[in-house]
Amino acid sequence: MISILVPIALIVVVAISTISVLLYARNLRDGRVHKRGPKAFDVDAFAALLNREDELFLRARLPYAEFNRLKRRRIRVAFLYLDRLSATLAAILDMRSKEWLLAGNDDQVDSLASLASDLASHIRVQCLIAYAKLSIEFVFPEIRFSPAVLITECKSLKATVVELHRIASASGLASVPAL
C-alpha cells in the first residue's frame, strides 16, 4: 500500500511545483508581478522570515497543527517578498537597458551597472528556484530548504546598487531603484 502512495505523492509534489513555477514565470513575463513598480526590499527582514533556527525553535515549541499553519503563513509572506524583489529586479534590468547605456562615457558607472544587471539576472533565476522550494514547503511543511544563496546575492546586489546610486546621482543620471 505504501509503495503505491509514495510515487503518487511524488507526482503530486512535482506537478504542484511545476505549475506554480510556470504561473510565476508567466506573471513575470507579462509584468503582472511588477506592474506597480519597484518598492524597497528589506533583505534582513526576508532573511529573518526564512531563518531556519527560528523554524526549529517554533517546531519544538508549538503543536504540530499550529506550527504548520504558522509556517504556511510565513511562506505566503515570503511569496510577497519574492514578488517585491522581482519587481525591483525588473526595474534594475530595465534601467540598465535604457538609462545606464546612455552613460557610456563613465567607465565606473558602466562597470557597476553591468555588475548590477548580471546580479539582477542571476537573482531572478534564484527567485524562481526559491518560489519552487517554498511551494514544496507549503504543501509539505516538514521539508526544509535553505534560501541562503538568494539572501547572500541580494545583500551583494544591495551594496552594488547603493554604490551605483551614489555615483549615478553625482553624474546626473536617473535614480537607481531602491533595493
Q: What is the pLDDT of residue 142?
A: 82
The overall pTM is greater than 0.75: no
Q: How many angstroms separate the CA atoms of 13 and 86, rounded?
A: 24
Burial (Cβ within 10 Å: 0-12, 13-18, ≥19) of residue 6: exposed
pLDDT of 83 over the 50 cut: yes
32: DSSP letter: S
Q: How many angstroms separate the CA atoms of 155 and 44, rounded?
A: 9
pLDDT digits 0-9 by tens, 120-171: 888 888 888 888 888 888 888 888 877 667 788 888 887 877 777 776 666 6
Q: Are 157 and 116 in contact (CB under 8 A)?
A: yes
Confidence of residue 34 (pLDDT cuts 50, 70, 90): very low
Burial (Cβ within 10 Å: 0-12, 13-18, ≥19) of residue 147: buried
| pLDDT, average across residues 45-57 | 86
